[in-house]
Chain A
Amino acid sequence: MTASLGRRMAMTLTAFGLLAAGAIVTAPLVGSTHISLRRVFDPAIPFSDNVDAQIFFIARLPRTLAGALVGSMLATAGVVFQGLLRNPLATPFTLGVSAGAALGAMLAITFGWSFAWVGVPAAPAASFVGSIAAVAIVYALARARHQGLSTNVLLLAGVTMNAFFSALILFVQYFADFAQTYRILHWLMGDLDISSYQPILTALPLVLVSFAVFAWLARPLNLLSLGGESAGTRGLHVVGAQRAAFLSASLATGAAVSVGGPIGFIGIVVPHLVRLLVGPDHRLVLPASALFGAAFLIGCDVVSRTVMAPIELPVGIITALIGGPFFLWLLVRKR
């Protein structure tokens, strides 16, 4: 503890903030097509004739913002789950949220539901409902065994729900025809090409709520990392904090998945890299992960849409290609 927390906080936020801001500003400039910035912002050309501006504002900017939103939510949710479960290998998808979301999206696609719910099309809406259902089941199970909230039961119930939902997914998939199977596969690989600002706006209230809870959670998570008993003796209402952590992180994950699909590995790669840089204090790790997660996913998305242009790779493949080896490295390093 050389520098005061305030100074370290300021330094961390500035450094990671600049990184995220840099990513948000640069990413819309690159893509499969060449566009001229001068034309993009030329007021003399009407928007309807300005292809460059259209590509910038309709195709690239929404997906960059979606990347920022999804990346920061998954990264911070990862931090919270790792703190809550006191397990460095926990991810936002460990407790069944993504499998529930996938099942929801799959039902919507397979049975051709074509409704829009407050402007959200069927697949993302159903995926959000699916993730909430999974969370509710896991939460109820973890509470049923103990008066409080057993993190062990939480973990086991979550892993089992993941497996069970995966079985249901395979079952439902059997009713899908080819086009639908393709669509499901596409959804599972993650995709940020959202082509409008609507999904971001719809997810925004959920994001703000989760982030507000995360901000409050920083200190409780530090205490929880000492173990439930010591945290209790230091005046923390342990079960309340665990409940808040579980619900807010699940909400953030559900919202992120409904926007971009289950994009893997961000929730584990980003928190660990951030901890290597700023240390274990959640008051620094949470905001830094939010900013770095945004920059990381935006970066992966830029790779996914340029590396084989004009063919686009699903961004989930890029994050997995980076995240898989990283995860293994973590696993080996730990033991």
Chain B
Amino acid sequence: MNKRIFVRPSVLSVLSGAALLVSLLLSSAEATRQPTETPVPTRIISLIPAVTEMLFAIGAGPQVVAVSSFDTYPVEVSKLPRVGALIDPDVERILSLRPDLVAVYGSQANLRAQLARANIPLYVYAHAELADIPVTMKTLGARVGRAGEAQSTAAAIEARIAAVRTRVAGRSRPRTVIVFDRESLALRGIYASGGFGFIHDMVNAAGGENIFADVNQQAVQATTELILARRPEVILELRGEPLAANVRPKEIAVWQALGSLPAVRTGRVYLIDRQLTVIPGPRVAEAIEVIARTLHPGAAR
């Protein structure tokens, strides 16, 4: 009984001392993590193709040590190790490469928690609209010590996009359905761009009028009825992967089933199977130029 009374305060003091020590340690760890003097990262891992492209575009390519399993551009990435992607990031490989910056998607909550526990700094990315691409590029540039290059690259992209806008200004804007997915060789499971997101913005900049601009979603599941009712003058299919040469014409011919659409009648069904049109990265200006040439073959360039 007597003993216990003695023990208690001593235990308490030890505990409080330990707590103090822990909190001191934590706060000092916090202090070293303060972004006041973030060192320039030299071992960057990007899980996002758009970010990878941006890093290389602003001259930070040599700092990149690994990329996602979907990265194919620029060619330099072919030599880099792959560490998974959005749903299957390989945490072990990421950690073993000792990165000092990892670009992750905002939705990768588990990965973010794991990397945070390992004290690895993160760059959190979110897919967004066309106007966000130069902004992302600039914040990324500031983060990786390439603020100047990012500034000028972003400005160049904005200038190219502005130039396209001027070229197509005043031309009639064809009502366009922007299809980015459907079943192969059939008009089933059609997904088209709604009025939100960089694909909608790209077509808009290239002088097209999205027939689903009124739908405030990135993707619209478009039935044949919906497409027939909205009568697009242009069908624009954007595919991330090139189709085989013998399949391409067949995929375009599938639209003949809706032979009465203005787009089909006037032969304005286009399939652009180039990766650059589906990645919101630095090639977006080139993608807009490609789309503008498709929608307005008469415009200069």
CB distance from A260 to the nearest CB of B (A): 10
Q: Which B residues are in CB contact (< 8 Å) with A32?
A: 223, 225-226, 229
B221's partner among A31, A113, A311 (CB-CB below 8 A) is: A311
- B21, CB-defined interface residue at 8 Å: no
Structural contact, B225 and A59, CB atoms closer than 8 A: yes
A51's partner among B188, B223, B228, B244 (CB-CB below 8 A) is: B228
A182's partner among B191, B247, B258, B265 (CB-CB below 8 A) is: B191
Structural contact, A179 and B184, CB atoms closer than 8 A: no
Structural contact, B185 and A51, CB atoms closer than 8 A: no
Q: Which B residues are in CB contact (< 8 Å) with A186?
A: 189, 221
- A33, CB-defined interface residue at 8 Å: yes
Contact bitstring A106-137, B, C-beta under 8 A = 1, else 0: 00110011111000011100000000000000
Structural contact, A60 and B225, CB atoms closer than 8 A: yes
CB distance from A254 to the nearest CB of B (A): 18
Contact bitstring A34-59, B, C-beta under 8 A = 1, else 0: 00000000000001111100110011
- Give B85's nearest chain A residue, CB to CB: A177
**A122-B225 contact given A114-B244, A195-B258, CB 8 Å threshold:** no
Q: Which B residues are in CB contact (< 8 Å) with A114?
A: 184-185, 243-244, 247, 250-251
Interface size on A (CB < 8 Å)? 40
- A187, CB-defined interface residue at 8 Å: yes
- B57, CB-defined interface residue at 8 Å: no
Distance, CA A186 to CA B265, complexed state (A): 29
Q: Which A residues are in CB contact (< 8 Å) with B224?
A: 58-59, 193, 195
A-B residue pair count with CB separations less than 8 angstroms? 98
Structural contact, A123 and B184, CB atoms closer than 8 A: yes
Distance, CA A196 to CA B183, complexed state (A): 14
**A178-B86 contact given A58-B224, A59-B225, CB 8 Å threshold:** yes
Structural contact, B231 and A51, CB atoms closer than 8 A: yes
Distance, CA A193 to CA B94, complexed state (A): 44
- B38, CB-defined interface residue at 8 Å: no
Structural contact, A187 and B228, CB atoms closer than 8 A: no
- B90, CB-defined interface residue at 8 Å: no
Distance, CA A31 to CA B86, complexed state (A): 38
Structural contact, A194 and B184, CB atoms closer than 8 A: no
CB distance from A309 to the nearest CB of B (A): 9
Q: Which B residues are in CB contact (< 8 Å) with A305?
A: 223, 225
Name the interface residues of B196-237: CB closer than 8 Å to any CB of A: 215, 220-221, 223-226, 228-229, 231
Structural contact, A121 and B186, CB atoms closer than 8 A: yes
- B257, CB-defined interface residue at 8 Å: yes
CB distance from B225 to the nearest CB of A (A): 4
A121's partner among B184, B221, B240 (CB-CB below 8 A) is: B184
Distance, CA A54 to CA B187, complexed state (A): 15
Distance, CA A33 to CA B187, complexed state (A): 19
Distance, CA A140 to CA B182, complexed state (A): 37
Q: Which A residues are in CB contact (< 8 Å) with B27?
A: none
Q: Which B residues are in CB contact (< 8 Å) with A112?
A: 184
Name the interface residues of B230-269: CB closer than 8 Å to any CB of A: 231, 240, 243-244, 247, 250-251, 257-260, 265
Structural contact, A183 and B181, CB atoms closer than 8 A: yes
Q: Which A residues are in CB contact (< 8 Å) with B231?
A: 51
Q: Which A residues are in CB contact (< 8 Å) with B229?
A: 32-33, 51, 55
Q: Which A residues are in CB contact (< 8 Å) with B243?
A: 114
Contact bitstring A158-195, B, C-beta under 8 A = 1, else 0: 00000000000000001001110011001100010111
CB distance from B244 to the nearest CB of A (A): 7
- B88, CB-defined interface residue at 8 Å: yes
B226's partner among A108, A123, A191, A310 (CB-CB below 8 A) is: A310
Structural contact, A196 and B223, CB atoms closer than 8 A: no
Structural contact, A54 and B228, CB atoms closer than 8 A: yes
CB distance from B38 to the nearest CB of A (A): 32
CB distance from A197 to the nearest CB of B (A): 10
Structural contact, A183 and B183, CB atoms closer than 8 A: yes
Structural contact, A195 and B257, CB atoms closer than 8 A: yes
- B73, CB-defined interface residue at 8 Å: no
CB distance from B237 to the nearest CB of A (A): 12
- B180, CB-defined interface residue at 8 Å: yes
Structural contact, B185 and A121, CB atoms closer than 8 A: yes
Structural contact, A193 and B223, CB atoms closer than 8 A: yes
CB distance from B207 to the nearest CB of A (A): 25
Q: Which B residues are in CB contact (< 8 Å) with A109?
A: 183-184
Q: Which A residues are in CB contact (< 8 Å) with B260?
A: 47-51, 54, 58
**A58-B228 contact given A116-B185, A121-B184, A122-B185, CB 8 Å threshold:** yes
CB distance from A312 to the nearest CB of B (A): 5
- Give B251's nearest chain A residue, CB to CB: A114
Distance, CA A108 to CA B244, complexed state (A): 16
What are 19 residue pairs bridging A and B, where the CB atoms are less than 8 Å apart in the complex? A51-B231, A55-B225, A58-B224, A109-B183, A114-B184, A114-B185, A114-B243, A114-B251, A116-B185, A121-B183, A123-B184, A178-B86, A186-B189, A195-B186, A195-B188, A195-B257, A195-B258, A310-B226, A312-B226
Which residues of A are at the interface with B, using a C-beta cutoff of 8 A? 31-33, 47-51, 54-55, 58-60, 108-109, 112-116, 121-123, 174, 177-179, 182-183, 186-187, 191, 193-196, 305, 310-312
Which residues of B are at the interface with A, using a C-beta cutoff of 8 A? 70, 86, 88, 180-189, 191, 215, 220-221, 223-226, 228-229, 231, 240, 243-244, 247, 250-251, 257-260, 265
